[in-house]
Chains A and B, each alone.
Chain A
């Protein structure tokens, strides 16, 4: 079974600054997907970014980028130029390559301060 751990229950950052959210996971799979989802107070789950484990290049999506360290089983999310709208719960999630089940971490509550 896979497990996903987010060790930071809460974080805060000043508007326009950069913040990094941590995620570690445990799996015996060699190929898989990793995701970051954002859940604002509206509770809508929004896919932020995805990473394929077989790709060495770190994924980026505008102000969002990841630092994927496969050997260390680490998958952190960096948010650059933080905006007030980035305030939300952020969930790290794992999916096996041939499966469909998402395994979520416990979440990190991010507050962006003006």
Chain B
């Protein structure tokens, strides 16, 4: 089965700074997504990362705060900009493969703490 990795696995950042999270898959995928999981809560979709075009953001999430790149079919980045303590969460990427029967598989997540 394919491997999904995320870097960093965790980080502690200061208020006002930005962090870029990477998601790498070892095979080509059709869809890549970014989710946020706030402490003790469920997952919420931030955006769909589109290859070669701007990401599609869900309600409540904007490009200026969460810029996303997807330069190819195996890699995506999510940046959390101008961070505040409220951004402390686990950020997870997920992928769907072509012919993958609409199943999403998740990376190991990045635990972000903002002080």
Contact = CB atoms under 8 A, between A and B. Distances in A.
Interface residues of B, number: 23
Interface of B: 31, 33, 35, 41-45, 48, 58, 90, 92, 94, 96, 101-106, 108-109, 111
A84 to B, nearest CB: 21
Q: For chain B, what secondary structure do more than half of its interface residues adopt (helix, strand, loop), or is it mixed?
A: strand
A36 B111 CA distance: 22
A43 B43 CA distance: 12
Given A95-B102, A100-B33, A43 B111 contact: yes
A105 to B, nearest CB: 6
A interface, how many residues as a size bin? 20 to 34
B106 A45 contact: yes
Interface of A: 33, 35, 37, 42-47, 50, 91, 95, 97, 100-102, 104-107
